[in-house]
Chain A
């Protein structure tokens, strides 16, 4: 790879040229816009340079910086620059880019909690290293005054450090105790308090053993686990926000003077809203003006566009294809059909069986067990020696030895490694337990439209058209922006057809295109308009003069990786089900293409969820893959769910994982990784328990010196982390 020379910009840094100018413009420059772009496809050094070079060469852009870790670019630009232009420029150069709303992202950018946690971890590491070093002197046999001095210095470092670093644990333990519960943090807090307390007491009495090093080491390892856990969650959260930011719901409201752009939440029933071709209908309402065709696939899964004329009812979420229409608002926001599906999702989520993660299961066994053993050991020693000091020392040793450092690291270390691996492959994990659940899946349910299919449909049987028909069809198809017409035009162009000469070409929105060809009227459009007999699958119709109309059929285009994914899943012995809202013939034909045997067609949103529940009721662990509004309830009802990046925001919100690219194949990787992650987590629990079980008898019998405690703790934490790293 070589560096890019930048012919348009003689200066190495356009931003530097811009700075003096910006400073001259003083106040104005400070209010400049900061744009954020999501760049899911970038992965290498050439991408960084390429993207930054393209962004900086756009006029008005002052500076651009790519963050490869977050797959984002932040752009500082003048107020007249909008993100769509930049995205278009990047897309043209082959980089996938989406606009992000910086307001939504502000929270993740500051990320104060993560930094605070990292700072605590740094202080803990610093204190641990110093206290350990001082302890070396004690362990190698320092006595008398020297040992006391070492202990006092250790105390001086460890006590403030423990107070500062352990705050997350104390707060959580306190909250749990106040709620009358026990969580992992209770034994942790007790162990730290007891260790520091007895050590201080021992030091005052010039005792032999002090556990300052153990107390601070405990803090360090636990904080490391907490930090990893936090980072995974924060990444997932910011990813979800990032996707939420992709959609900025706005509507064009008609006022007396013209139109104004308003947020959808500000619309009231009775308002008139203009929806342009290519736009999504923001509200439920009635068409009062204009004819068009609507793409309902997101709401129902139908691929065939539906006609809409004045008086017809339209729902929020449908896409307007051909003509501008004016819609009178009947319901907006929470009252729309879209929001009602959202309520279905809430019901489905509530009904989802309460999944107990492996970590929770371990904690439930662990926390009470530790307390009981510690108390029993202390009581036993007190009865035996009648010496409270010895009994407390033993209790502290037991709590330290059994403290769940390795347990605390066992899950976060694995999920961090696994999600980093899957992120590189193009899959975001939104939920901490999603991987564990994915590992249990035995049935995979797919939605059809938008999930297994993608982009423009393919025209079929073009060779059956005569040369004249093909030429006329091409000329007509190029007269409109309708997706079927565009697909047809593409297909014909590729087979080398030249468009015919047409006159008086005009588009009748909602119906089709008509024109005169050598004095004969020709039409391309809907079946009803041409008086043709409609076929069952997606099709458009062509009529030349008074000849019988001819149907041109379309097939869905498979999404990249769809075929391989279905084959791969079947090879693993998983049951694959196709669950679509589209009409039966289209679903049948599609299932045959992919070799899927189980299929359900014409399923409404609640029927989809019911089907998933029926499978679950039959003992299956269902993975649902879907993208539409009609899938959201099913996504929420499934054991685990995945949606593609192109899915509606509601669908992405309802699913546990989101694909970042177009390709479906990362789902296979995710299943393999999930299986591995689950076995790593179990291995880690075993390793941690073995260390604890080996050291516990020593602690109970009073043979455990601080040296053994420190060794056992560090060794188990390290083993667990290294085992998790094998997953990368």
Chain B
């Protein structure tokens, strides 16, 4: 059971990393145009210069 002392902090840390990643994406505006981004990724003119 001692392993729990290690596993629980690790799992919390990983979860927190996910939360931080989400916060970053929110700041970067990755949720501003979900519909447009879904289409953009399929177009060749964005291959060279994704933005």
Interface residues, chain A, CB within 8 Å of chain B?
2-4, 6, 12-13, 16, 44-45, 48-49, 66-70, 115, 118-119, 122-123, 126, 129-130, 133-134, 146, 149, 153, 157
Contact = CB atoms under 8 A, between A and B. Distances in A.
Nearest to A4: B45
Given A44-B39, A68-B39, A123-B19, A3 B33 contact: no
Contacts of A45: 39-40, 42-43
A122 B24 CA distance: 12
Contacts of A49: 43, 45
Given A3-B43, A12-B48, A122 B35 contact: no
A399 to B, nearest CB: 28
Contact of B15 (A48, A69, A130, A149): A130
A119 B26 contact: yes
Contacts of A4: 45
Contacts of B49: 12-13, 16
29 contacts: A3-B44, A3-B45, A12-B45, A16-B49, A44-B39, A48-B36, A48-B43, A49-B45, A66-B36, A67-B36, A68-B33, A68-B35, A68-B39, A69-B35, A70-B33, A118-B26, A119-B23, A119-B26, A122-B19, A122-B23, A126-B16, A126-B18, A126-B19, A129-B15, A130-B15, A133-B11, A134-B8, A146-B1, A146-B4
A526 B49 CA distance: 60
A2 B32 CA distance: 26
Interface of B: 1, 4, 8, 11-12, 15-16, 18-19, 22-23, 26, 31-36, 39-40, 42-45, 48-49, 51
Classify the interface of chain A: helix, strand, loop or mixed. Answer: helix
Given A122-B23, A126-B19, 18 more contacts: A12-B49, A13-B51, A45-B39, A45-B43, A48-B36, A48-B40, A49-B45, A68-B35, A69-B34, A69-B36, A118-B31, A119-B26, A122-B19, A122-B22, A123-B19, A130-B15, A133-B11, A146-B1
B36 A130 contact: no
**Does more than half of chain B's interface fall in helix, strand or loop, or is it mixed?**
helix
Given A130-B11, A133-B11, A157-B12, A68 B36 contact: yes
Contacts of B22: 122
A316 to B, nearest CB: 38
Contacts of B51: 13
Contacts of B39: 44-45, 48, 68
Nearest to A3: B44
Nearest to A72: B33
Contacts of B26: 115, 118-119, 122
Contacts of B23: 119, 122
B40 to A, nearest CB: 6
A164 B43 CA distance: 41
A122 B34 CA distance: 17
